[in-house]
Amino acid sequence: MPLPIMQRARLLIVLLAFVVAAAGATAPALARHLDAFRSADPVARAKAMTAAARMGAAAVSALAAALKDENAEVRFWSAFALGEMKPPRAARPAVPALIRVLEESDEGVVRNAAYSLGLIGPAAKSAAPALRRLLKSPNQQYVRNAAYALARLS
C-alpha cells in the first residue's frame, strides 16, 4: 500500500537531507538545487525545494521566490519546504511571502502556507492578522491550519 503524499514528502525530505549532509551542504550543492528550481518538471522543482529546506537560511530567499511561480504544485512544495526549515526561525525572511499566498485561490498552497507559518512559530507573528481572517473561511482545513498557526505564534 503506498504511503500518503505527506508521509512520502517527509520521507523524501529526510532522505534528501542525508544525501545533502553527506555531500556537505556547500554552496555548490545549494547551487545545484537552485538550478533545479528552474526545471520544466514541477516534480523536480518540488524535490529541489524540499532538499533546499534542509540547507537552512541559505535557501530561504529562493524558496520564497518560488511562492510566485505560476505552477501551483511548485508553490505548494515551496510553502511546505519553508515550514520544514531547521531551525524554524531561519524561515523568518519568507514570512511576508507566505502571508501573501494565504490570499491565493489554490487550496493546497493556502493550507501549506498557514501550517508552515505555525511551524515557523513566534518568528511569524506578523502573520496573525492574515491567519485570523482565515478563521472566518468556510473551508474547515483553512480554519484548522490557521488555528494551529495562531496557537504556535505566541
Predicted confidence (pLDDT) per residue in 66-102, tens digit: 899 888 887 888 898 899 888 888 899 999 999 999 9
pLDDT of 35 > 70? The answer is no
- pLDDT for residue 31: 57
Over residues 107-132, mean pLDDT: 96
Instruction: Provide the CA 25 distance to its chain's centre, in angstroms.
Output: 19
Instruction: Confirm if 125 and 95 have CB atoms less than 8 A apart.
Output: no
Determine if residue 121 is left, alpha or beta; phi over 0 gives left, psi from -120 to 50 gives alpha, anything else beta. left
Predicted confidence band of residue 32 (pLDDT cuts 50, 70, 90): low
Over residues 111-140, mean pLDDT: 97
What domains lie within the chain, and their CATH numbers?
5-153 (1.25.10.10)
Instruction: Confirm if 104 and 137 have CB atoms less than 8 A apart.
Output: no
Match 511561480 to its residue by C-alpha cell: 69
